Amino acid sequence: MQALSRKLVQRPLAGGASIYSSSSIRSLYGVSDHLNGTDSRRYSSSLATKGVGHLARKGTGGRSSVSGIVATVFGATGFLGRYLVQQLAKMGSQVLVPFRGSEDSPRHLKLMGDLGQVVPMKFDPRDEDSIKAVMAKANVVINLIGREYETRNFSFEEANHHMAEKLALVAKEHGGIMRFIQVSCLGASVSSPSRMQRAKAAAEEAVLNALPEATVMRPATMIGTEDRILNPWAQFVKKYGFLPLIGGGTTKFQPVYVVDVAAAIVAALKDDGSSMGKTYELGGPDVFNAQDLAEIMFDMIRERPRYVKLPFPIAKVMAGPRDFMVNKVPFPLPSPQVFNLDQINALTTDTLVSDKALTFQDLDLVPHKLKGYPVEFLIQYRKGGPNFGSTVSEKIPTDFYN
């Protein structure tokens, strides 16, 4: 019996095909090709590839499908990164996650995709060979790298400009990168009072010079569970009992839900190539000033609003020492939260979506309003627990106890 089994295993089929090939199994057992995504549009991804070559796709579009995308997402361990990786992985893309810190940094991302589809890869952003290694098998590159403050190791220009330029040049040399998406920031301009925004503008120019077909996304201030605006505000209020309004809180901006920004990046990958070479400004549906946004925060954490209005010169004096000392002391300084000198400089001008800019609507998306679900994460700051808070009695109808 064992000898007969060995003969059956080793016996080639007619035409030299292996008994283990997929075509042989289909011919033996009558399996329809539609199960492999070749007969029906229902079983294929909606990802279009006009102008970017052919992608092999199969499946119904879920996390166990194959979208054809192999994306290297630089900066995936950051705030926006986790939401982008989740949206890419859930539609069957393989996501390569370069990281430079602890091996625990990308650990939470591995659960977002099917087994083996989210691949952490150690890299050094200053080593070109390391960048080439993490980009070697990709056909899509998305750059989320950015920093809102300087450290001893990375200046604004290196983190926001030079790294983006290096990635674009490596992608150009690669030859097989079909889409390159550069995530900048709303307000990026060479004339901005903010060094970060000037560096982002320089990065956009460098990327488009190397890859004219690259897509640039300019998100406004992003709101979400791990954001860097409402969380620091709420923590400051819980610690000191008031919120400083820099510049009187009159600066206007358009905060956007972080999930919408991730959806816009994925939508650009799904289009027919019409987003290539274009710049999108991604702002929320409503315009707020700082005090309006603070009112939403206070309402959600159930604390009575208390403000101290700080003129810009005083705020800059309070934030200045860290920037002065960052490269002069032999140890790392704490990350700035509310008093960030570069962000204070950015607040001296309004940051709004331009009238003629391409927006969410051009990607067939409608951004969420901030009130409600996008800011519900702030309930963690309520005094006494999520069902309580200092103003809880004001939230209960007067006839509740009758």
Q: Which domain holds residue 192?
A: 145-381
Classify residue 132: in a domain, yes or no. Answer: no
- Cβ contacts of 378 within 8 Å, gap of 6 or more: 230, 234, 297, 300, 301
**pLDDT tens profile 67-114:** 899 999 999 999 999 999 999 999 999 999 999 989 999 999 999 999
Classify residue 398: in a domain, yes or no. Answer: no
Mean pLDDT confidence for 26-52? 38
- Between strands 252-253 and 288-289, the pairing is antiparallel
CATH number, domain of 228, equals 3.40.50.720
Tally the residues of the chain.
Answer: 402
Check if the beta carbon of residue 266 is closer than 8 Å to that of residue 90: no
Distance between first and last Cα of the chain: 85
Map tokens 């625990």 to a residue.
Answer: 104
Model confidence at 39: pLDDT above 80: no
Number of domains in the chain: 1
CA separation for the pair 230, 378 (Å, rounded): 8
Classify residue 354: in a domain, yes or no. Answer: yes
How far are the Cα atoms of 164, 257, 376, 396, 402 from residue 389, in angstroms, in the given order?
A: 44, 25, 14, 12, 22
Classify residue 108: in a domain, yes or no. Answer: no
Check if the beta carbon of residue 241 is closer than 8 Å to that of residue 306: yes
The pTM is what?
A: 0.84
Classify residue 337: in a domain, yes or no. Answer: yes
CA separation for the pair 173, 291 (Å, rounded): 48
Mean pLDDT confidence for 200-224? 97
**pLDDT tens profile 145-167:** 999 999 999 999 999 999 999 99
Classify residue 159: in a domain, yes or no. Answer: yes
The fraction of the chain above a pLDDT of 70, given in percent, is 83
Classify residue 22: in a domain, yes or no. Answer: no
What is residue 397's predicted lDDT score, i.e. its pLDDT? Answer: 54
**pLDDT tens profile 369-379:** 999 899 999 99
**pLDDT tens profile 224-255:** 999 999 999 999 999 999 999 999 999 999 99
Check if the beta carbon of residue 391 is closer than 8 Å to that of residue 302: yes
Check if the beta carbon of residue 253 is closer than 8 Å to that of residue 352: yes
Classify residue 245: in a domain, yes or no. Answer: yes
CA separation for the pair 256, 282 (Å, rounded): 7
Check if the beta carbon of residue 301 is closer than 8 Å to that of residue 389: yes
Residue 253: strand, helix, or coil: strand
Q: What is the number of H-type helices and E-type strands within the chain?
A: 13, 13
Q: How confident is the model at residue 29 (pLDDT cuts 50, 70, 90)?
A: very low
